[in-house]
Chain A
Amino acid sequence: MPIGLIWQTFLETPLINFMILLARASFSSYGMAILLFTVITRVATFPLMLRTLRSMKQMQVIAPLLAEVNKRYSDPRRRSEETMKIYKENGVNPLGCLGPQLIQMPIFIALYATIRLTMGNTPESLLALSSRLYDFSYIREAVPLSTNFLFMNLSENGTIPLGIAVFAAMWLQQRISSSRTAATPGSQQAQMNSTMQWMMPIFFGYFFVVSLPAALGLYWGVGTVISLVLQWAFVGPGDFTWGSLIPAQLRPAAFGFGAGATNASSRAALGGQTSSGDSDATASSGSQRQDGRRGGGSGAGTAGPGSRSGRRRRNPRG
């Protein structure tokens, strides 16, 4: 059986029918069907997601150790040895987060084909749908589906606001994720994190949203938000604070808003010292302090700034 036929028979066609079923069940709204589908796929892949989140959390725990290794060993080979040793001792798989991403890919691709057909954007695609529907009148009668949802035409290319929303969600997710790595500021890893933080959201925001049907962007955007919420709930926001979105010079300290306020509460809980500072600089020192091995003046070389709240808020959950 050729791969195309296998793909169609076992993934694409069932998904087409399932999506139409969902759409009919959700008041003939294809947008609602996509939202439901996103939630269902996230629930189905939750065990994998949980594994990833635990891996991320573990990475966060060992981040100070990795930073120490980076600082202590200049020989790349020795540094690699020690890094691997830390990974092994803590049972961390640095590539553990790839699983859920790879599992999502076929779903995403099948969904793309499904949307192309079920939206019936062109007469040819709607006609092709006739041979892909199961012989249930409940499904057959639902076609064609309404393409309007939240001021969008789901069959047309994604709108700029949707692209911006997806960009923002992905940026935030990248920002939270990258704050857990033990990258030394200025290092190759830190530069890569910085590049990924911007390039990934731009890539997805444009190619997957603005240049493809809005339905796909809706799926991706909602999926990202769900992941973000799960990550925030299970692992915490890392060194991210909403206040850090505002440039340091513009932060209204008088309102107690932003990094300073969050830090203050965290530090109060820890009995730590207070200070304001650049959010990126606080990242490494915060994690170092949590580890308890190092003083405030080590790591990134930034002395003084306090830890972020996220890590300590996570502790009670274990």
Chain B
Amino acid sequence: MTNADQTQLNRLFHVKQIAHQTEPNQLFHVKQIDKTQSHLKRSLMGAVAAIALVGTACTGNTAPIGWAAPVFANGLVIVTNQNGTISGLKTAGTDAPTVAWTYPEQTAASSSGSEDFVSRFFNFVGGLFSAKKSASNFSAVYATPRVETVGNQQRVFLASYTGDVIALDTATGKPATGWPANVNVGGRVAATPAFDGKLLYLGTNHGDIRTLDAASGSVGGAIVGTGARVWAEPLLLNGTLYISSLDHTVRAIDPNSKAERWKTDVGGAVAGNPAVISGLMIVPTLNSTVVALDIASGEKRWTMTGDNWFWSQPLATNDVVYVATASGTVYALDRATGSEKWHSAPLVAEVRTAPVLQGGSILIATRTGVIVALDPASGAEQWRKAVEKAAFLADPLVLDSGIVYAAEDGSLYRVTPQDQGVNLLYKRGK
């Protein structure tokens, strides 16, 4: 007799005992309670399953993380950290960099993370009731920091997803002279700002372009409203501001008179930065097309269709345009006609980083931490390296000593195509 049989027998015996000792309606009571308990069990199991599903489905990050590319200024690599700080790293050749400055300067308590249990508990509970998850206004930065000289001071301008903008002295990492404590343009910023020598032009999630005085930090009015989010970098060329937005259009605007010079529907949302070469604007779209526009008239010169969205910025050379889809397929296109010269095998991973041509290789990095080198002439894979637990979404920084990729987890990697080297350069603060 198995245990289950024994259990069943015991149970029956128990019920019979009750039946023998009690009235019929009490036996009925036992059976009914048994049935109710069964219902309850099933309900509880359902509830547990529902909770498990909640746990499965709700994992994943809904808060913005950011993918700001590192920039080079004043001999420093300037990076944004996930804890909302900004660091200037001194690099010397191939040696590991040292931190020259961090803004804001971290106190011992905040840097060591030595919060007691009670504080952490209340922070956690507070977080449940707060819509704002970011610990700092600069925790999520998508726009590549812009380095410009204002007066006699070199400044790095950082625009965060919260709309806050700060200008730091690149030499000291302290707020630039005359820059107010809190500057906010009134909308989320994901696009790298344009600069005309005096004003910064920032695209926002409200679909407008706001101006910001680079010297005083005063926010101006909106010069154009696209009606859709502006995530692609506005380009300022020869007195014309080119704005690409998620409303499928590219506009050419006179920033002074706000007059529209031309507007072209490119057939898909534009989230990636366009590239400009020889009078052509190469626009990547989420309609799985790359569109080349005549920069003077806005007329379409050619359109090419790929296997997925185009989000990464195209790499344009004199003859060839290299562009990668979100699936990791790299296309080499004739610059003049858009005809395909070759395309690589898809990497089957999300790609947002711009391709780089260096050391006889086209380099591309994926969200899954894979760095691949392709032959620029044929698209054949030369080599690939996988970096564990790294997600590359930020555009790379090209230095003499190699190509620097910033990973989502807070690390910097230096890639040297010549020797197929991929080395951890710096572990950014979290």
Q: Chain B's interface: helix, strand, loop or mixed, by majority?
A: loop
Whether A85 lies near B288 (C-beta < 8 A) is no
Nearest B-chain residue to A84, judged by Cβ: B32
- B residues in contact with A4, CB < 8 Å: 56, 59
Tell me how far the C-beta of B209 lies from the nearest C-beta in chain A, rounded to whole angstroms.
Answer: 18
Whether A7 lies near B287 (C-beta < 8 A) is no
- A residues in contact with B1, CB < 8 Å: none
Q: How far is the CA of A195 from the CA of B119 in the complex (A)?
A: 32
B138 at the binding interface (Cβ < 8 Å): no
Contact code string B46-67 (vs A, CB < 8 Å = 1, else 0) = 1100101110111111111101
A130 at the binding interface (Cβ < 8 Å): yes
Nearest B-chain residue to A95, judged by Cβ: B39
Q: How far is the CA of A137 from the CA of B62 in the complex (A)?
A: 27
B215-272 residues at the A interface, CB under 8 angstroms: 228-229, 231, 246, 267-269, 271
Nearest A-chain residue to B30, judged by Cβ: A81
Q: How far is the CA of A141 from the CA of B32 in the complex (A)?
A: 58
Nearest A-chain residue to B140, judged by Cβ: A122
**A128-B36 contact given A81-B28, A116-B62, CB 8 Å threshold:** no
Whether A95 lies near B40 (C-beta < 8 A) is yes
Whether A122 lies near B64 (C-beta < 8 A) is yes
Whether B36 lies near A109 (C-beta < 8 A) is no
Whether A211 lies near B131 (C-beta < 8 A) is yes
Nearest A-chain residue to B190, judged by Cβ: A123
A102 at the binding interface (Cβ < 8 Å): yes
Q: How far is the CA of A105 from the CA of B286 in the complex (A)?
A: 33
**For A109, A124, A137, which residue has the most chain B Cβ atoms within 10 angstroms?**
A124
Tell me how far the C-beta of B305 lies from the nearest C-beta in chain A, rounded to whole angstroms.
Answer: 9
Contact code string A121-159 (vs B, CB < 8 Å = 1, else 0) = 111111110110000010011011000000000000100
- A residues in contact with B57, CB < 8 Å: 7, 12, 109-110, 112-113
Nearest A-chain residue to B288, judged by Cβ: A140
How many residue pairs link A and B with beta carbons under 8 A? The number is: 111
Nearest B-chain residue to A137, judged by Cβ: B288
Whether B142 lies near A77 (C-beta < 8 A) is no
Q: How far is the CA of A122 from the CA of B161 in the complex (A)?
A: 9
- B residues in contact with A131, CB < 8 Å: 326-327, 350
B: interface residue count bin: 35 or more
Q: How far is the CA of A225 from the CA of B195 in the complex (A)?
A: 51
- B residues in contact with A143, CB < 8 Å: 269, 286
Q: How far is the CA of A5 from the CA of B195 in the complex (A)?
A: 45
B26 at the binding interface (Cβ < 8 Å): yes
Tell me how far the C-beta of B159 lies from the nearest C-beta in chain A, rounded to whole angstroms.
Answer: 14
Whether B40 lies near A140 (C-beta < 8 A) is no
Q: How far is the CA of A4 from the CA of B131 in the complex (A)?
A: 26
A93 at the binding interface (Cβ < 8 Å): yes
Given A7-B56, A7-B57, A127-B311, 20 other A-B residues pairs in contact with their CB atoms under 8 A: A3-B52, A3-B56, A81-B25, A84-B29, A84-B36, A85-B28, A102-B47, A112-B57, A113-B60, A122-B140, A123-B64, A123-B67, A123-B271, A124-B65, A124-B393, A127-B367, A128-B350, A137-B288, A141-B268, A144-B228
A contact set with B: CB distance below 8 Å: 3-4, 7, 12, 77, 80-81, 84-85, 87-88, 93-95, 98, 102, 105-106, 109-110, 112-113, 116, 121-128, 130-131, 137, 140-141, 143-144, 157, 211
Q: Which 10 A-B pairs have the closest CB atoms?
A: A84-B32, A130-B326, A122-B64, A81-B29, A105-B50, A109-B57, A102-B46, A95-B39, A130-B309, A113-B57
